[in-house]
Structures are given as structure tokens and as C-alpha cells.
A and B are shown apart, each in its own frame.
Chain A
Amino acid sequence: KQEVTQIPAALSVPEGENLVLNCSFTDSAIYNLQWFRQDPGKGLTSLLLIQSSQREQTSGRLNASLDKSSGRSTLYIAASQPGDSATYLCAASFTGGGNKLTFGTGTQLKVEL
């Protein structure tokens, strides 16, 4: 069974700190991996998408990496701000899965003043 897990489940950091969110997946036959942000009671905002042939993607203060051999992806947030407070979800699609996304359990981030 293809599973995606995220650690930690919750994280609280002071403003300005750099932080790393972790995502692991059980199947190395990954097609792509996405990181999303979800605010309370809201839908998903796509942050970064990494194709299986890529190792990382960057957008502003965000950098996501993908290591297929170890089954891991990380989302690095630089110089965190209170506005970054949200739940971050990673989701993977796997080869032969028809682009179905398997979501991780999420990391709830709080950036404090």
C-alpha cells in the first residue's frame, strides 16, 4: 500500500527562523510530489510541484527537495513569518496510479511573533 507520512504533526517556531518540514513515502515509483498549504476551513493552495526527474524546486522563500531513493521530500521555509502559519500537506502520485494523489497527514505550523 502506498503511504505518505509527515513529521512532525505540529510545529511552533519564532518569527524569522528557518524551518524544514518532512514528508516520506513508501513507494519509490513516484511520478511527482506536491506541497500544499491549507488555511483553517479553506481549500488547498499549491506551493511547489517536483517531477520525479527533478531534485528540487524553489519559489521565493520556499524550497522543496525530492530524494526518491530514500523516499523523502523536504520543504524548507526561510525566514518564517506569522503569515506562514497554516497546515502544510505533501501529496504524491505514483507511476501507474493515473495521477491519483496520496496525501500525507500534514504538519500544522505556527509562526509566533
Chain B
Amino acid sequence: GAVVSQHPSWVICKSGTSVKIECRSLDFQATTMFWYRQFPKQSLMLMATSNEGSKATYEQGVEKDKFLINHASLTLSTLTVTSAHPEDSSFYICSAEAPGPTDTQYFGPGTRLTVL
């Protein structure tokens, strides 16, 4: 089956530093990947749509200069949280859209970011 991985699975960083999270589709190519954020006890909120070879599309209220997205290849998208602050602490989940008639999204296991 289609597998999506994320690295790292968890990260703790100091306020003001930048953190990069990788999302990889392991056995299929994904022209489109999505980045979600989930705060404790809340549902997933879409942050941005990542398109291979073009700029990401950000949802309203998401700062593109703070959350840098690079879809470098058909199997890799990265999310960089720049100048992280404690309020950026969250669970970040990516998904990759598999080619086919149903456009099924396969989700990664998530990355827990804690900013001190």
C-alpha cells in the first residue's frame, strides 16, 4: 500500500530557531502534498497545498514567510518553521495525493514540534 513518512517524528527547539520537517511518499509519486496542523484536542487544519515544481498555496491566515514549503521532487516536500515561537508548538501532519481515479490522500505519522 501507499506509505508516507515524516521526519523527524518529534523535535524540541529553542524559540527563534528554524525547524525543517520532511514528508516523503515512499512507493508512489505525488505531485500534490498537503500540510496540516493539529493543536491539542482539536481537529486538523489545512495549512497549505504543496505542488511539485511550483509555489505552495497557503490557506487564509497562514503566513507563507513563516512556514516555508518546498516540494523539491515528486516524493519529497519540506515544511520549514522559521523563527519558531512557543505558539508554533503543534502536531504537524502531511499527506500525499496518490495518482488515480479517487485522488486518495495518504497521511504521514506526524511530527510533534515543541518550542521552548
Q: Which residues of A contact B (CB under 8 A)?
A: 32, 34, 36, 41-44, 46, 49, 51, 89, 91, 93, 98-106
Contact = CB atoms under 8 A, between A and B. Distances in A.
Contact of B49 (A34, A42, A51, A100): A100
B30 to A, nearest CB: 12
11 contacts: A32-B102, A43-B6, A49-B102, A89-B43, A91-B44, A99-B103, A100-B34, A101-B95, A102-B46, A103-B45, A104-B43
Interface string B63-97: 00000000000000000000000000001010101
Contacts of B49: 98, 100
A46 B32 contact: no
B112 to A, nearest CB: 7
A99 B43 contact: no
Contact of A43 (B43, B103, B104, B110): B110
B107 A51 contact: no
A101 B105 contact: yes
Size range of the chain B interface in the assembly: 20 to 34
Given A104-B43, A106-B43, A99 B107 contact: no
A43 B109 contact: yes
B28 interface: no
Interface of B: 6, 32, 34, 36, 42-46, 49, 91, 93, 95, 97, 102-110, 112
Contacts of B34: 100-101
B108 A89 contact: no
A46 B107 contact: yes
B112 A41 contact: yes
Nearest to A6: B43
A44 B36 CA distance: 12
B43 A103 contact: yes
B9 to A, nearest CB: 10
Contacts of B102: 32, 49, 51
Contacts of B45: 103
A44 B104 contact: no
